[in-house]
Structure 1
């Protein structure tokens, strides 16, 4: 079994240009031992060959998986990493992210944690903390909104979470606190310690094709007593803003489908018993 302090898992769907930028940023900014695992979510042979050539050129591992969504692809990448590497940390990152600042010393003693870096979009939005409040009431409001397609109700959750996020960020900036506990982190770039990964087991619910993966991971971490830490010393550029156009009903329907699966998995009577 090979050794690396950090294994980066990058799930790619046709996006070779951003993948190259990410790999270059890892090569430039990471000053400890690491390996990049490129997971190709299959679209066609031409795109597969393009992504594989990039992986080969930059000395990355390459695996090809069926296009069954974010959770399935990343689970396959995690499985590959655990079967082939002895590591201290796994980083799950989108290809449209780049490392701005990353000092391995900031991860010292965090093998039992999930670490959420400072993720900054091109519009200068700060995407972490993703959520600060774990509330069944707010989840129930969102569930009802998605089931009935009354999407304006979702703003209740959005406003409450945004106000909490503004307050917590300002308070911690005021006292110059760079690291503190949060409920959930953005899914575009997260760091998971070796011991946390062992305790968490399979990270993603593969029935959720896209969206709400942050909610599932947060609930799983809470159930397994894994603490998620915001660490603003580690800084990441996310080139996709990730904001949702609420007028786009197709996107909202996709978000709703994933959130309904999340809610019914964690809150239905059967699932609660199953997950105890």
Structure 2
């Protein structure tokens, strides 16, 4: 079974985490394929990966000549795993995730393989860097017609989040819960399903890949789920770099706009919906700049 699995790790100046994750994975699944896709990291980072690649024939290093972002970078690794390694299952993993148990990969594969072929994608419960659960980040709903109007304004979204599941406790007695969207930092998917939906949409550089993937799977009547008996840790620290955070927040808005332009039928056919959402995209940017300047002023006081 392990020989049919490939893990794609997208690296960008994170060789230490990438190598650690690859080593941890090979310890618990020594026959799994590790495909490291480097998104044009610094020379010293690439050299570390090249040396690491010599330590095990199961490690495959692909070097991109520019930073292609999450979707396109991962697609390169996915296609390599399917075309060259004949993989039946693909694991997408960020370098900064850690396993909570030695059984997570095998249990995810076994559970997914036991389900009907229309069940395409599975993950575990995501914990934050303090090993705590944030229900909003385990899974979430696909956006409705104007859901992003509320999501684009951070203050408004704190009081009303239309993408939040409110009934997870009601279905927590099941081993696998069926949901719309799961985190893109760690999940397993059938290679056949990935091919069927034509992989990740490469129209975004960062953010919203999860919802686009979920929408494409749903359009083909595939199911996505969370295995409640397994969990993993996402060590994603918060940045205090105000300018970087501003750039990322605006990039998030750009990706949400792309989603609505391409996957929200109401945006494309209803002028009222389009105007409401366009207002929120620009309004969200204004809010981001206001937050940025307030934090800068507070920092210097």
TM-score with structure 2 setting the length: 0.75
Q: Is 2:97 the counterpart of 1:97? A: yes
- Answer whether contact 2:9 2:93 (CA < 8 A) is retained: yes
- Answer whether contact 2:127 2:233 (CA < 8 A) is retained: yes
Q: What is residue 13 of structure 1 aligned with on the other side?
A: 12
Q: Is 2:195 the counterpart of 1:188? A: no
d(CA) in 1 for partners of 2:160 and 2:210? 15
Secondary structure of 1:131's aligned partner: coil
Q: What is residue 240 of structure 1 aligned with on the other side?
A: 236
d(CA) in 2 for partners of 1:244 and 1:171? 37
Deviations 1:100-141 (A, max 9, x none): 232242232345411122221222134653213542221354
Q: What is residue 139 of structure 2 aligned with on the other side?
A: 130
Q: What is residue 295 of structure 2 aligned with on the other side?
A: none
- Answer whether contact 1:115 1:229 (CA < 8 A) is retained: yes
Q: What is residue 63 of structure 2 aligned with on the other side?
A: 64
Deviations 1:176-226 (A, max 9, x none): 2120210001000011013312322222x2231111111111111111111
Q: What is residue 163 of structure 2 aligned with on the other side?
A: 161
Secondary structure of 1:4's aligned partner: helix
Higher strand share: 1
Q: What is residue 36 of structure 2 aligned with on the other side?
A: 38
Structure 2 residue runs of 5 or longer lacking an equivalent are 270-301
Question: For the aligned residues, what is the CA RMSD?
Answer: 2.7
- Larger Cα-atom Rg: 2
Q: Is 2:51 the counterpart of 1:53? A: yes
Shift, 1:264, TM fit: 1.2
Q: Which has the higher contact order (CA 8 A, sep 6+)?
A: 1
Q: Is 2:160 the counterpart of 1:152? A: no
Structure 1 residue runs of 5 or longer lacking an equivalent are 271-276
After superposition, the Cα gap between the structure-2 partners of 1:63 and 1:134, relative to the gap in structure 1 and judged at 3 Å, is same
d(CA) in 1 for partners of 2:251 and 2:240? 11
After superposition, the Cα gap between the structure-2 partners of 1:186 and 1:80, relative to the gap in structure 1 and judged at 3 Å, is same
**Count of paired positions:** 254
After superposition, the Cα gap between the structure-2 partners of 1:161 and 1:266, relative to the gap in structure 1 and judged at 3 Å, is closer
